[in-house]
Structure 1
């Protein structure tokens, strides 16, 4: 699917299957999401630009590759996005972090913003927006619009699961923003949940239901 990178690494798919299982504990769900986040981050940062710096190894001097430019921003859509964020920061601890608080009205499925905090120089950085589920795409699109208002233009979106309907709506609302996901599921039900999915990611992550 154009504009979508499906991260189908065997370890990702194995860990995702464990997360889908309704008998998986909160602690295990949280740890698995953190581990998958590492592998998703590996893919979404694959083409970061490099430069070189002169260093001394124990044996010789060399021009060694290092990341070029300002560190990326990981923008977490609260609250479930923080489950991916933790693993991503394990891999890129120097990344900057933005938080976008959005909740979805259970009746209308429309997004409502309640919190926003981000670095001031978003226009100078790659911004990677993270949320485990791309369902209706309303929250993801609203978060990206908010980040655009603050200057972000180099944007990527990372999720654990996506519904075909969510991908379609997202790409119409945010053309040119690439999607990275571990799975594209069958459909979105009448309540805005991905099927077969894994339930409510936030509730399973934090044990609130």
Structure 2
């Protein structure tokens, strides 16, 4: 019997998505095919995630080519950031940018798993004004933080990297985080979902039940970053 997912985790049942995920699992998929499949999967999962996580509101007046006036539609919240986790999150970026009606800031987070402990290590962070100024109260809101951060993390295995990214975004001052992922192992998914349950929703194409002793998902789909950037065997 499959374990019960946390209430803030949403696993897609879209049949086309499941078929594409199956294609992505295959070792025979080359870098070009891997890139295309990650992009297509991200569009489908992203549609579901943003459909549930965003809302629309009336905007300004405009005219159609025939001269008729209409009220435009805007999305809410008004401040959104995309946060891909380097490297593999870059493979999802264009898909989610395509879905959003207007360009939004992209803030990169660089995290890797230490090979021995499997604990996350941050090596890059370009969130604006990440460190508060001296003398700033710890509970003061960060005016530079977006209301919503969309975190792009293709594979959630141990969950340590995703949980660390969520904590970083929470400390930055976002009000909500939507995580979009391609595949997760249940233990890692549970860890990430429980990092900030009231502020995070995770949307994923598929969930496997376990990881191996190297922290890789079984059966999984390998190291997505290596497959995207042809660095297998580094």
TM-score bucket (shorter structure)? over 0.9
Moved more, 131-140 or 61-70: 61-70
Q: 2:154 aligns with which of 115, 120, 132?
A: 132
Deviations 1:173-201, CA, capped at 9 Å, x for gaps: 33221110000112111111111110111
Misfit runs of 4+, over 3 Å? 119-124
Aligned ranges 1:1-209 → 2 under 5 Å: 1=5, 2-47=7-52, 48-52=54-58, 53-59=60-66, 60-92=68-100, 94-119=103-128, 121=143, 123-176=145-198, 177-209=200-232
Unaligned 5+ runs, structure 2: 130-142
The answer to whether the 8 A contact 1:187-1:194 is kept is yes
What's the TM-score, normalizing by structure 2? 0.83
Q: Could you tell me how far 1:105 is from its partner in structure 2?
A: 0.8
RMSD value, Cα? 1.7
Deviations 1:3-35, CA, capped at 9 Å, x for gaps: 111122122112111111000011110111111
What's the TM-score, normalizing by structure 1? 0.92
Deviations 1:140-190, CA, capped at 9 Å, x for gaps: 111121222221231121111111111222233332211100001121111
Q: Could you tell me how far 1:98 is from its partner in structure 2?
A: 1.1
Moved more, 40-49 or 197-206: 40-49
Q: 1:137 to 1:24 in 2, by over 3 A?
A: same
CA–CA distance in structure 1, aligned partners of residues 164 and 77 of structure 2: 28
The answer to whether the 8 A contact 1:122-1:152 is kept is no
